[in-house]
Structure formats: structure tokens, C-alpha cells
Chain A
Amino acid sequence: MALNESDVGGPERDPGLEQLYARARLEEPPRELDQAIRAAARREAHARPHALGARLRRWTLPVSVAAVVVLSVSIVTLMREEGAGRLEEGFSPAPEQPVGAAPAPASGAKQKAVESAEVPQPALPPGRAPATLSATERTSEERRDAPVAGQVRPTERITGDVRREAVAEDKKRPKRQEDPSGLGATATLPEARPARALPAPAATLQRVPVEAESDSAGKRDLAKSEGSLTDDQFNELLNKLEKAPPEIWLEKIAALRREGNSRTADELLSRFRRRFPDYPLPDAERSRGH
């Protein structure tokens, strides 16, 4: 039954053949087989109506997509709210804690329990055990130690000695206004202990220097921080040295070093190097790494 290529070039359907074949399709699976398969299907459906694995598999993709979308929207929203500058600041190294600044406020009962265990009670009069305090004295002590709303109590997280100092300071302060109604702790006046101001977040964050800013400006800022020449003084000095020979520049730099203005001297030296690149530096400056 060899066929030529032309014989198979026709369409993939033949209505006449299909009609004839449809008439011949009489075979059916046995009824017993049908019943057995249907029964197995029902058993399986009732045995594991909600397979956990199948449910998890079904939800894997939607949950993943939803998580990605939520994350993306959150990041975009955050960037809009915070701004690019704020994000840039977020990558700067953590600023040093200012000396004497209040640590983060303690939170939670557990933290308080630890603190109360660490902090010794204030000195009592000799011969009096803590249990012998009268009710009014205890109330007074508790009131004194009770945190005022909005107040940060750094002494709670430091050592017992510092805590004792704080208690002593409290005693030196003018006596707080007594509660005329006798309501006890609920009548504690906030003004009795003024809240210590926390450093503002903007003050604690330090801006990361950007390369676009001029190098000299940054160095002048450093010089100013050391108490050296101000901008105006420095500019005035530069104007004076504008037409001076290199020897005068070096003398001035040496004078600045003697005075302890090393930052300004460095800055002036860099100007000098730019202005007189071929002029040999004295040994003292060369030994400094210039």
C-alpha cells in the first residue's frame, strides 16, 4: 500500500471516513469495570478530600506573587515617603552616641524586672530594714522612683552608683508639690521632674560626605571643628599669600603647625602643592607623608 507524496497532500480530516468510523464506534468498556473505577474514584475523593500538599502546591504561586507585589509596593512607598536623601543617610555608618545622651528607653516588664534587680535601693537610715518603711514612706519612695510620662530615665540602665547619684540629685531638688487631695501616685506632677530632652534624630544622624562637594570645604569644616581658622580668616590668608613666593607659604605653614592648626596647615599645604607643584618641600613636610 505504497503512497505517493501527492496522496498524502490532502487535509487532515475526511468527513466520509469520520462518519463511517463513528458508526463503527460501538465498543464500550464493561459495566463492572465502570463501577469499579467509579467506586475507586469516590473512595479516593472521600479519603483525602483536602490534601494539604495539594492545597499548598496550589497556593504557592499566588502567595509568592502576592508577597513580591506587597514587598515592591512597600519599598516604593517607603522611598517616596522617605526620599532619596533619607535613604542615603540610612546607609551612613551609625553615629556615635553623644556623651551623656540617654540610652534607648527600656520596654517591657522583663526589662523592668531586670532593672529592679540590678538597682540597689537607696540608703536607708541605720537600723531600719526595708520592711520597716511605713506606708507613706514607701509611697513617697515609689513616687520618687516612678517614671514620669515622657521621661527617659537613663539611670535605670546604668550601674547602681549612678543610680544613687541620681537619687541624691533628686533629694537636692526642691521638694515636689504635695498632693493636697491625697491621691497618692496618681497625683504625681509631671513638672516635679522635668523631662530630659532627647537628642533629635536629625542631630544624631550624620550626613555622609558626597564626592560632589569640594574637598577644601570639607577640610575647612574640620579645621573649624578644631577651633582653627574660620572660612573668612582662611580666605584672607589665601589672598595675602596669593602673590607671595613659595618660601613665604612654607613659613606660614610651619607657623600654623607650631600653633597647632595642623588642619589648616594641611589645607594650606595642599593649596601650595597645587600652586607650586615643582617646588621641593622641606624635610619636615616631606616626613609627614606629603
Chain B
Amino acid sequence: MLCYRDGDAGAFDVLYERHRGGVYRYFLRQCRNAAVAEELFQDVWMNLIRARAAYAVRAKFSTYLYRLAHNRLVDHYRQRQPAAGSDVAEDCDVLESVPDERVRPAEVSLDLKEQAARLMTLIAELPHEQREAFLLQQEGGLTIEEIASATGVPPETAKSRLRYALAKLRRGMAPWR
């Protein structure tokens, strides 16, 4: 990022290639709408480009990038639902009905693809904050402290959110593992 700030356009391509998938999926999993995810994704990168002159190394670049993404997402929620707070569920166009994890399809042997689809459903079911913590860890590769920094909460809170998210996913995936 420092190279790009100093005028090296090629450095941006390296950064973009490294983080484009993670940021895109972060938005896609959060709002579950491809069009909205693309809009937010573009906004984040354009903000990064515009703010490059003021960039200073205060944390890992990925933490900085996902903080921008988090802020953009919060802005998006506020624009759409000023009175409803940060409840993301109403923002989503597609809300799949989540099958009850307690009903085990005993005779059905699910392959990996189906397991992955089940996992995606469980992730979509998570509360917004827990889902965000999980996605930041998986897509951004952030540590507990970095998740806390990106979302503006204490590390203990981030750790708690992540633990709850993993526990719910483990519990939801238990019948299929």
C-alpha cells in the first residue's frame, strides 16, 4: 500500500489480487445479495484508492481494509434501515429457510458440496456480529485482536463473538460430520 501511495500502480494490482475474493465474500455473506455486495465492494476499493495519500501504517493492511469494509457495511445498514439498527436480516433479499439441525438425514450421505452448502446456510443464520467475526477470521485471516480493531470492539468481545459463532456452526454441522 505504501508503494501504491507513492505512485506505484502495479502495487495496487498485487494488493487487489490478494484481497479481492475475501472482501467480496465478506460482503456477499453479510448481505446475501450479489448486487449489493458488488456495490459495497466497489465502494470500499474506491475509498481505498481515494484515501491512499493519507494512508499511514498503523496496523496490518488487511485490518485497515476490513475496517473500511466494516464501516461501509454499517453505513449501508444505516441508509437502508435507519430505525432498525444493524439487523441485517431484513436487508437480505434471499433468506433461505434453515433446516433444523436436529433432524439428521440419516439415510442421506451428503458429499462435501452439500456439507459446504449446509455450512453456508448455518453461517447465514448466525447473528450479524458473530457472522462478521467468523468471516473476518476466515476471509481476512485476522486474529482476535485484528478483528477487534476492525470492528471497533474490545478483544474480549471479538473473542466471545467468534467462540459463539464457531460453537453454533459446530453444533449445526455435527450431524453431518
Contacts and interface: CB of A to CB of B under 8 A. Distances in A.
A36 B162 contact: no
21 contacts: A8-B163, A8-B167, A10-B163, A12-B166, A13-B166, A17-B169, A20-B112, A20-B119, A20-B173, A21-B116, A23-B116, A24-B120, A27-B24, A27-B28, A41-B9, A41-B16, A45-B7, A45-B9, A46-B7, A54-B5, A57-B56
A3 B171 contact: yes
B168 A1 contact: yes
Contacts of A10: 163, 166-167, 170
A237 interface: no
Nearest to B176: A20
Interface string A121-158: 00000000000000000000000000000000000000
Given A24-B119, A44-B49, A50-B7, A14 B12 contact: no
Nearest to A25: B25
How many B residues are at the interface, by size bracket? 35 or more
Interface in A1-59: 1, 3, 7-10, 12-14, 16-18, 20-25, 27-30, 33-34, 36-38, 40-42, 44-46, 48-51, 53-54, 57
B72 interface: no
Contacts of A9: 163
Contacts of A54: 5, 53-54
A188 B35 CA distance: 95
A17 B112 contact: no
Interface of B: 4-9, 12-13, 16, 20-21, 24-25, 28, 38, 41-42, 45-46, 49-50, 52-54, 56, 101, 112-113, 115-117, 119-120, 123, 125, 137-139, 144, 159-160, 162-164, 166-173, 177
A33 B119 contact: no
Interface residues of A, number: 40
Nearest to B169: A17
A108 B116 CA distance: 87
Contact of A48 (B53, B112, B163): B53
A41 B125 CA distance: 36
Contacts of B177: 16
A14 to B, nearest CB: 5
Contacts of A20: 112, 115-116, 119, 173
A17 B56 CA distance: 35
A41 B49 contact: yes
A49 B7 contact: yes
Contacts of A33: 38, 41-42
A239 to B, nearest CB: 80
Interface of A: 1, 3, 7-10, 12-14, 16-18, 20-25, 27-30, 33-34, 36-38, 40-42, 44-46, 48-51, 53-54, 57
B57 to A, nearest CB: 11
B116 A44 contact: no
A12 B46 contact: no
Contact of B42 (A24, A37, A57): A37
Nearest to B52: A44
A21 B116 CA distance: 6
Residue from A13, A18, A21 with most neighbouring chain B CB atoms (10 Å): A21
A102 to B, nearest CB: 58
A28 B21 contact: yes
Contact of A17 (B20, B54, B139, B173): B173
B52 to A, nearest CB: 7
Contact of A24 (B12, B45, B116): B116
A108 to B, nearest CB: 46
A22 to B, nearest CB: 8
B162 A12 contact: yes
B113 to A, nearest CB: 8
B165 to A, nearest CB: 9
Contacts of B56: 57
Contacts of B42: 33, 36-37
A7 B167 contact: yes
Given A12-B144, A50-B7, A29 B21 contact: yes
A33 B39 CA distance: 9
